[in-house]
Structure 1
Amino acid sequence: MREETREQPAPLRSGLTTGSCATATSLAAARLLLTGQHNDAVHITLPKGKVVEMRLEFCHLNGETAEAGTLKDAGDDPDVTHGALLYSQVRLLAEPGIRFVAGQGVGTVTRPGLVLGVGEPAINPVPRRMIGDHLQQLASECGYGGGFEVTVNVQDGESLALKTMNPRLGILGGLSILGTSGIVRPFSCSAYIASIHQGIDVAHTNGYTHIAACTGNASEDTMRRVYNLPEIALIEMGDFVGAVLKHLRKVPVPRLTLCGGFGKISKLAAGHMDLHSRHSSIDLPQLAGWAAAIGADTTLQQAIVSANTSQQALALAHAAGIALGDEVCRHALLFTRSVVPAQVQVEVFAIDRQGGIVGKAGVA
């Protein structure tokens, strides 16, 4: 097998989630209000019990409110929020409990289908629980019986959110405060996978019966052109086709279209559910075998095996009148059907680098 692209393994330095940042800054601000204690750093306990120290950029009073900020460190993960300033403002309330507010750069939910209700600040359940646990413990230590208003902010969050799927999910005005473990694992892309699941949930809840999961911009453009699908029905899956297929077991939609570059679809056809070159490779001998099954002679098979890229292999087959694109899509369709529920109608498109359709299989 030959790699379609050459990439170096990623370093393995972990980081901390926006949820951890919000917890640390909320705790520091609340502590300042209740004790007068200024912190340069704060310790928080992550959901699985690990205690971590987080440095603060500032922690000060502003009238009846205290605010504290930290720089988001995603480690070596390619996270859009890496280096962003996240800060929380805390105000004391007479009644017990915690009221969450979306501040500057934090989004608000505007569509049903997400775990949070419409109108809620996009501070996800685990970060809410983390903040609540830490503030309740602080209140107990200080003998405080009131509540807290917590406003979470991300500097430039509104513009950063345009680089995420939030607008498509109906989370408007900024980023989501995320995290389930409190830790960002390098290249685990857990937030990205979660957004894929959310995209399917939102489309399903809002009554869309046909979704198209696409590997990138070119494949999305193709689906718009072919089906005129709205943004809410387009799922930007990147390399994570497995995240789509497995989630459809929980939330089956009537019709699924998969669309991607020929090389990535050939990986799906070979049974791979992570299409990134770190985890799966173009199998040129397999492509030659599929070409042979639909009439490729020995010379063409050998040429495909010796090709530099999958695109070159496809071009060789096309020149010989062998519909390799359709055959690869057929195998991708068979594999996809083996994963998703039987009631989901499936079709697969393969495209070239210009967005032209070079293969199709499935729903007529």
Structure 2
Amino acid sequence: MIKKMKNGYTTGSCAAAGTKAVLFYLLNKSIVSEVEIDALSGEKLHIPIKQIYILPEKVTAEVIKDAGDDPDITHGISIFTQVAINKNGTINFFAGKGIGKVTKEGMSVPVGQPSINPGPRKMMTNVARQLLSPGQGCDITISAPAGEKLAQRTLNPILGIEGGISIIGTSGIVRPMSEEAFKNSLTPQIDVAFAAGHSSQIFVPGKIGENIAVTLGLPQQAIVQTSNFIGYMLEYAAEKKLENVLLLGHLGKLVKVAAGNFHTHSKVSDARLETLAAYSALLGMEQSGIKRIFACATTEAAMSVINDYKLGEELYPLLCQRASERSMRHVYNDLTIGTIMATLKGTILGMDENAKRIGRKLHWNIK
């Protein structure tokens, strides 16, 4: 019997909860020990507030990060949220102690901004707009004193995020990502879809691929979340005698598969930029362009170099074809695999011929 693993909540949810707790005090002089917030997934979260610190010049809430059963290095740290109401109607975000700042292009927020990702910003903005009067805004400062040290154990220094950790979360909920039991909990998705008649399924590493699949009109019941365990899920699909699998996700994940890496967690495998550089060179990119790719912090940043050389139309379908070939080899050609790669914003970069055939079979609405 598979033990059900406990979900947690993200640093972004901690900051949103802290924002709500402080605003409750500022607006109502009410000190709360728990708040309810809406996760971006649509679920309700009830998050404890450890303490409210009230000083003449500022009010701050402390929330303890709970990552559930996920081996998250931020589990148990304190996230502090300071909020001050302003009269200009804007919601502004600032980095306090232990929160990083973005110094390189290609991240989800601009250079010079606090590394507070769009998801958490949206959650905090939603909370503020629900509680503030029309015309009011607020200045939100997030701090995590333990973040300065913890950031050295993340990819932030490589990504050009300096001074601390990032406030992250695309849904607001932490779902265990790297335990053996979690891998086993993923495979029933394949069983359920197969039982419903879907011998062709869509494998997505995360929310980006899922959103695109829905937009394309692909059958919702055939969409399977793989997390970082793409190889493991493909092996199970082959055992289950699926006919086709469509891999659909962000370039940064699936370019690893093109290089033969089937566990895509950054601690286990990478070679994203090396793969992009190698295939760009194959298509004629000069050495100066290759050096620019190696100087990038992310695949999103590398895309601009590829665009400068007008290689995207040829490069991305080639990478998709390679990912499909490596994947089929991984499962001894026991099923047909196609690949679609996309940007962080959900724009499709390219696909291979297998993907087109599988997509048509699934009656997608792509033009």
TM-score by length of 2: 0.54
Aligned-partner SS, 1:37: coil
Whether 1:101 and 2:161 are equivalent positions in the alignment is no
- The residue aligned with 1:16 is 9
Once residues 69 and 102 of structure 1 are traced to their aligned partners in structure 2, the CA distance between those partners, rounded to angstroms, is 15
How far off is 1:31 after superposition? 1.8
1:185 to 170, 175, 181: 175
Percent identity between matched residues is 33
Aligned-partner SS, 2:141: strand
- The residue aligned with 1:63 is 56
How far off is 1:47 after superposition? 2.3
Q: Radius of gyration: which is bigger?
A: 1
Specify whether residues 23 and 218 from structure 1 end up closer, same or farther in structure 2 by C-alpha distance, changes over 3 A only. closer
- The residue aligned with 1:156 is 146
Once residues 9 and 176 of structure 1 are traced to their aligned partners in structure 2, the CA distance between those partners, rounded to angstroms, is 33
1:168–1:231: 8 Å Cα contact kept in structure 2? no
2:59–2:83: 8 Å Cα contact kept in structure 1? yes
Aligned-partner SS, 2:132: helix
Once residues 250 and 48 of structure 1 are traced to their aligned partners in structure 2, the CA distance between those partners, rounded to angstroms, is 35
1:106–1:174: 8 Å Cα contact kept in structure 2? yes
Specify whether residues 168 and 38 from structure 1 end up closer, same or farther in structure 2 by C-alpha distance, changes over 3 A only. same
2:159–2:297: 8 Å Cα contact kept in structure 1? no
- The residue aligned with 2:137 is 147
Matched residue pairs, number?
244
2:316–2:351: 8 Å Cα contact kept in structure 1? no
- The residue aligned with 2:131 is 138
Amino acid across the alignment from 1:171: I
1:30–1:90: 8 Å Cα contact kept in structure 2? yes
Amino acid across the alignment from 2:168: L
How far off is 1:94 after superposition? 2.6
- What are the Cα deviations for residues 53-83 of structure 1, in whole angstroms up to 9, with x where unaligned? 1111111212221100111111111112111
1:173 to 157, 160, 163: 163
Whether 1:269 and 2:329 are equivalent positions in the alignment is yes
Once residues 164 and 85 of structure 2 are traced to their aligned partners in structure 1, the CA distance between those partners, rounded to angstroms, is 25
How far off is 1:186 after superposition? 1.6
Once residues 127 and 234 of structure 1 are traced to their aligned partners in structure 2, the CA distance between those partners, rounded to angstroms, is 21
Runs (4 or more) in structure 1 with deviation over 2 Å come to 8-11, 47-52, 188-193, 197-201, 211-221, 227-235, 248-256, 265-269, 335-343
Unaligned runs of 5+ in 1: 1-7, 205-210, 236-247, 259-264, 272-285, 287-330, 344-364
Specify whether residues 129 and 233 from structure 1 end up closer, same or farther in structure 2 by C-alpha distance, changes over 3 A only. closer
Once residues 38 and 66 of structure 1 are traced to their aligned partners in structure 2, the CA distance between those partners, rounded to angstroms, is 11
1:99–1:150: 8 Å Cα contact kept in structure 2? yes
- What are the Cα deviations for residues 153-190 of structure 1, in whole angstroms up to 9, with x where unaligned? 12311221222222222211111111122111122796
- The residue aligned with 2:36 is 43
Aligned-partner SS, 2:52: strand
Once residues 52 and 212 of structure 1 are traced to their aligned partners in structure 2, the CA distance between those partners, rounded to angstroms, is 39
Once residues 111 and 40 of structure 1 are traced to their aligned partners in structure 2, the CA distance between those partners, rounded to angstroms, is 39
Aligned-partner SS, 1:175: coil
Aligned-partner SS, 1:155: coil
TM-score by length of 1: 0.54
Amino acid across the alignment from 1:114: M
Whether 1:75 and 2:65 are equivalent positions in the alignment is no
Amino acid across the alignment from 2:175: R
Aligned-partner SS, 1:162: helix
Specify whether residues 29 and 253 from structure 1 end up closer, same or farther in structure 2 by C-alpha distance, changes over 3 A only. farther
Amino acid across the alignment from 2:162: L
How far off is 1:266 after superposition? 9.1
Aligned-partner SS, 2:54: strand
How far off is 1:92 after superposition? 2.0
1:92–1:148: 8 Å Cα contact kept in structure 2? yes
Amino acid across the alignment from 1:167: P
Amino acid across the alignment from 1:159: K
Q: CA RMSD in A?
A: 4.4
1:29–1:60: 8 Å Cα contact kept in structure 2? no
Aligned-partner SS, 1:59: strand
Amino acid across the alignment from 1:59: I
Specify whether residues 32 and 213 from structure 1 end up closer, same or farther in structure 2 by C-alpha distance, changes over 3 A only. farther
How far off is 1:212 after superposition? 7.5
Amino acid across the alignment from 1:269: R
- The residue aligned with 1:245 is none
Aligned-partner SS, 1:12: coil
Aligned-partner SS, 1:101: strand
- The residue aligned with 2:26 is 33
2:9–2:67: 8 Å Cα contact kept in structure 1? yes
Aligned-partner SS, 2:153: coil
- What are the Cα deviations for residues 286-329 of structure 1, in whole angstroms up to 9, with x where unaligned? 6xxxxxxxxxxxxxxxxxxxxxxxxxxxxxxxxxxxxxxxxxxx
Once residues 70 and 267 of structure 2 are traced to their aligned partners in structure 1, the CA distance between those partners, rounded to angstroms, is 22
Amino acid across the alignment from 1:21: C
Specify whether residues 75 and 93 from structure 1 end up closer, same or farther in structure 2 by C-alpha distance, changes over 3 A only. same
